[in-house]
Amino acid sequence: MNSMLERLSKEFRVTDITERHPGLTTLTADKDVAETLLRELRDREGYTHLNFMTAIDYIERGVFTLVYMLHNYATKSTLSVHVNIDRVNAEMTSIHTLWAQAWTYQRELRELWGINFPGSPRVEEDFCLEGWEEIPPMRREFDTVEYCERTFTSREGRGTVNPREHMAEIIFPNRGGDK
């Protein structure tokens, strides 16, 4: 394992190699070497299974982190490959040629995060949000509360009290800053 990670860090410039717990290691790879690295892991290192793909929106840093979770059945170890891509015009090489099921994840990533995977089969079709007209909902700038308020009605009998205003009314009426 360690010799493999050493080799990867040399040959593929992978960084941030962290053992999260026994059997799960995470590492970060550059976007341009990611596909080659994944192929190497599948064909030479025994990580034959793609558990899943997902993405994390680091809006503060202006990136999406794509997560490729791979499993090696022989060593029972899991490797989580992280790849940072620009949030603007987010696009990534499709890996459906490596694992056929990846096209489903990529279709989901396109719908929920707005990340494109050119060449991935049926990537532009609706996945689970039929008729969605908003920005992709897993993007952090998507205001879920605002969308909920606009789209759904509340049951009768709902109603909330603002703690600060309630305390002002009970504890210090006529005090504090002018209204």
Partner 1 sequence: MSLKDLISPFFVWQRAFEKPYTVGLKPIVERPGAPAYRGFHINMSDDCVGCGSCFTICQNHAIDMVKVDGLEAHGGDSGLRPRFDYGRCCWCGLCVDICTAGSLRMTNEYAWFTTNPDDFRFVAGMENKSWDGRTGGYHRHPDYHLFPPKRIEMEMLAPEESVASFTEVAKGYTEEQAKLEADRCVECGICVATCPAHMDVPDYIHSIRDGDYEKGLQLMYRTNPFPATCGRICTRRCESVCPVGIQGEPVAIRWLKRFIVDQVAEADYARILPNVEADTGKRIAIVGAGPGGLSAAYYLRLKGHAVEVFESQAQAGGMLRYGVPSYRLPDPALDKDIEHIRSLGVEIHFNHSIGRDTAFSDLLDNYDAVFVSTGLNVPSQMRIQGEDHPRVMDGLKLLDDVANGKDPQIGTSVAVIGGGNVAMDAARVSRRLGAEVTVLYRRRIEDMPADTEEIHEAQAEGCIFVTQAIPVEALNAAQSDQVTLKWGEAEMLQDPKGGRPRPVLQEERMHLDTFDTVVSAIGQGSNLDYIPTEISDQLQIKWGKFIPGDYQQMVLNKLFVGGDVANATADAISAIEDGHHAARGIHRFLDTGQRG
Classify strands 63-72 and 49-58 as parallel, antiparallel or unpaired.
Answer: antiparallel
Closest to partner 1 by CB, 131 vs 177, is 177
- Residue 141 CA to its chain's centroid (Å): 14
Minimum CB–partner distance for residue 34 and partner 1 (Å): 29
With binding defined as CB under 8 A, does residue 173 bind partner 1?
no
- Closest approach, Cβ 175 to partner 1, in A, equals 5
Instruction: State which residue, 30 or 149, has the beta carbon closest to partner 1.
Output: 149
| Spatial CA neighbour of 31 closest among 55, 58, 66 | 66
How would you list the strands of the sheet with 77-86, edge to edge?
15-21, 24-29, 77-86, 63-72, 49-58
Q: For residue 124, which amino acid is it?
A: E
Q: Could you tell me the two tokens for 24?
A: 């799960």
Is residue 135 a contact point for partner 1 (CB under 8 A)? no
- Among positions 22, 118, 131, 159, the unique one binding partner 1 when judged by CB under 8 A: 159
**Considering the rule CB under 8 A, would residue 10 count as an interface residue with partner 1?**
no
Residue type, 114: G
Applying CB under 8 A, the span of 11-19, 37-45, 48-56, 144-152 interacting with partner 1 comes to 144-152
Tell me the window of 9-17, 70-78, 119-127, 171-179 that interacts with partner 1 (CB under 8 A).
171-179
- Determine if 128 is a binding residue for partner 1 (CB under 8 A): no
Question: How far is it, in rounded angstroms, from Cα 59 to Cα 38?
Answer: 26
Give the residue carrying structure tokens 């990136």. Answer: 63
Please choose, from the candidates 80, 76, 56, the residue with its C-alpha nearest in 3D space to the C-alpha of residue 68.
80
76 binds partner 1 (CB under 8 A): no
Q: How far apart are CA 9 and CA 13, in angstroms?
A: 5
Select the span of 46-54, 97-105, 106-114, 145-153 touching partner 1 (CB under 8 A).
Answer: 145-153
Q: Which of 2, 3, 89, 154 binds partner 1 (CB under 8 A)?
A: 154
Positions in the binding site for partner 1 (CB under 8 A): 144-145, 148-149, 152, 154-155, 157-164, 166-168, 170-172, 174-178
